[in-house]
Amino acid sequence: MILRAAAVQGLDVSKARFFDRHWWIKVRLLTDHFERDLLAQAYLMHHASQCALLASGQEKAGDIWEAMEALANRMIRMTMPWLNLETKADKRRQIVENWKKIYGDPSDPKMAAKIRATAMALIRDANIAITKAERGW
């Protein structure tokens, strides 16, 4: 970012005063400005691609949507590598892996029975709480 500020805004690095807080404030303001511009460009690109997809009227837009999101994320990673971006598929995969590691595979019949029992207990407890709240207990 400092290189971009030097190239675009004329930040003269040769006259840098590394121990002067005012110089660092100026650098911080310029780099924050560039980061905001890059994020705005990324969001505009993402919005334009979504508008194009919606205007195309394609029925099977899921694959195209995923490809456009991956393209937008790749562009953001190239311009701002310090941001940690994950696609929805990456997030889903990570959630499933964590669930299997901690609790076990939900497709296993024993685990499926435990999940159903837990869900029923939560529903029962929620119904009891609602009943108590309605009666003013």
pTM for the model stands at 0.40
Please check whether residue 74 is in contact with residue 97, taking contact to mean a CB–CB distance below 8 angstroms.
no
Helix (H) or strand (E) holding 111: helix 109-135
- Please tell me the predicted confidence (pLDDT) of residue 86: 67
Residue with tokens 């650098």: 27
pLDDT at 7 over 60: no
Please check whether residue 38 is in contact with residue 4, taking contact to mean a CB–CB distance below 8 angstroms.
no
- Please tell me the predicted confidence (pLDDT) of residue 10: 65
